[in-house]
Amino acid sequence: MSAARSISNEFNSYHWFVKLMMMLVVVGAVSAIIRFVFGLGATTNLSDRYPWGLWVSFDIVTAVPLAAGAFTLGAIVHCFNIKKLEPLVRPAIVTGFLGYSLVCVGLLVDLGQPHKGWHVLIHWNLQSPMFEVAMCVLAYTTVLFIEFLAPVAEKFGWKLSIRVLRWFELPLVILAASISTLHQSSLWTFFVIAVDKLHNLWYNPLLPLLFFMSAICAGICIIILEAISCHKWMGQPNEDELLATLIKILPWTIGAYIIVRILSMIFLGGRPVFDTPVMTWLFAVEMGVGFILPFIMFSRMSIQNNVRFMGSAAALLIFGVIMNRFNVSMFGMMDPNEIYFPSMIESLVTLGIIAAHILLFVVIARHFPIFEHHTEPEEHPLPAYSRS
């Protein structure tokens, strides 16, 4: 009875939004079980014409750049030696680790024969971009897990483990940045071969470069929203000064992306682009609202002193990246005579994965020291942290 009462008290201590996330995770898990019991054909609207649906467009193609904050910030702090941004690294690593772990979950749900997913580890197809992406995602998830072990070791006072992890900190960051550079760009290589299927507004040979550049922008914006939300809803320190430093990078990265995107359309397209009203509208919303407007907002100096303005600009750019991924992987490849809509099971599984990411981050932030910074363990004893 005492254990049940303790669990009940723990559940009641959470915010209603966290309880909603718990419910969505349960619904998503049940939907995933239904998918495995009855198969893809009976539970999804996927077909031979549309073998990649919502689970690929969002759970994989979109979730990967949204988890790019870990390698982006790690490279900024450790490779470019901007140490003042270090307080933002651990939350970014947790976000990246959770994001890539759930990408793997979404991939297993989408696979027609998930029990054979491990075959990629022994049957190597060196000519396939899918093989390169699969190996890089697995390797990067492993690296993020090792980096996540640092706050776990601090939580339980494993001093030797902390020392060993700090020795490998810089090599791990460099390795993570290298692996991410490979798969963030290679993931878009899939669509370079879709010459006659992908709409002209999004098809060009520079898709891998554009994917990588936009992933950097999205990763930084996720860090901004994460820091603002943790301060507002979880009582964590105000990081506005650090975010003001981070924001100075965004006008350059977003501006470079817009220039490359426009120039590639002009000089590398070679085919009519604004030939379909619906596609033209989707492109206008993506570029205008999702990239050009945030670029203007981030270029204003006043944004550094306005948290709401800062968060709005970051949210708009994340919206633009999500629109871009859906336009390339779904909308831009649709046949007007056969439109794909995700089924209820597909939608519930995706909502469950999103809710699981949020819920796990809240739990980890509550019980592990991801917002604290510590000196070497031999100089100062590690306290027993508790977020309860």
DSSP code string of 219-281: HHHHHHHHHHHHHHHH-PPP-HHHHHHHHTTHHHHHHHHHHHHHHHHHHH--S--S--HHHHH
Mean pLDDT, rounded, for 93-119: 87
Is pLDDT above 90 for 28? yes
Residue 169 is assigned to a structural domain of this protein: yes
Domain count, the chain: 1
Residue 320, domain CATH: 1.20.1630
pLDDT at res. 115: 82
C-alpha 18: how far from its chain's center? 20
Q: How confident is the model at residue 162 (pLDDT cuts 50, 70, 90)?
A: low
User: pLDDT per residue over 172-203, tens digit each?
Assistant: 777 777 777 777 777 777 788 877 888 889 98
- Asked if residue 290 lies in contact with residue 323, where contact means CB atoms within 8 angstroms, the answer is yes
What's the pLDDT at 160? 62
The parent domain of residue 236 ranges over 54-336
Q: What distance in Å separates the CA atoms of residue 203 and residue 268, rounded to the nearest whole number?
A: 9
Per-residue pLDDT band at 10 (split at 50, 70, 90): low
**Mean pLDDT lowest for which of 143-152, 260-269, 273-282, 371-380?**
371-380
CB atoms within 10 A of CB 49: 11
Where is pLDDT greater, at 372 or 298? 298
Residue 245 lies in a domain: yes
Does residue 326 sit within a domain? yes
> If you average pLDDT over every residue of the chain, what do you get?
83
pLDDT for residue 386 = 36
- pLDDT above 70 for 3: no
> What is the model's pLDDT at position 351?
95
Residue pair 224/304 in contact (Cβ under 8 Å)? The answer is no
216-266 pLDDT, tens digit per residue, is 999 999 999 988 888 888 878 888 888 888 888 899 999 999 999 999 888
Instruction: Check residue 65 and give its pLDDT.
Output: 85
**What pLDDT score does 286 carry?**
96
Predicted confidence band of residue 1 (pLDDT cuts 50, 70, 90): low
Burial (CB count within 10 angstroms: exposed 0-12, middle 13-18, buried 19+), residue 267: exposed
Angle, helices 344-367/89-110, rounded to nearest 10 degrees: 150
**Is 200 within a domain?**
yes
In a domain, 304, yes or no: yes
**pLDDT computed for residue 353 by the predictor:** 94
Residue-level pLDDT at 169: 67
**pLDDT surpassing 90 at residue 123:** no
Q: Which residue has the higher pLDDT, 283 or 18?
A: 283
Q: Look at residue 89 and tell me if it is in a domain.
A: yes
d(CA 322, CA 278): 17
* Residue 273 backbone phi and psi in degrees, to 5: -115, -50
342 in a structural domain: no
State residue 357's pLDDT score.
92
Which whole number is the average pLDDT over 322-326?
Answer: 94
Euclidean distance between the first and final Cα of the chain, in Å? 20
Tokens of 15: 């915010």
pLDDT of residue 373: 54
Measure the CA–CA gap between 188 and 206, rounded to whole angstroms: 9
Domain assignment of residue 384, yes or no = no
Distance of CA 271 to the CA centre of its chain: 32
Given a cut of 50, whether residue 135 has pLDDT beyond it is: yes
pLDDT exceeds cutoff 90 at 27: yes
Strand partners, 335: 338
What confidence tens digit (pLDDT) does each residue in 368-380 have?
A: 888 865 444 444 4
Answer yes or no: is pLDDT of 318 > 90. yes
| Residue 18 pLDDT exceeds 60 | yes
Q: Are 143 and 179 in contact (CB under 8 A)?
A: yes
DSSP category for residue 310: H
Q: What percent of the chain has pLDDT above 70?
A: 88
Using 50, 70 and 90 to split pLDDT, how confident is the model at 387? very low
pLDDT band at 349 (very low <50, low <70, confident <90, very high): very high
CA 100 to chain CA mean position, Å: 7
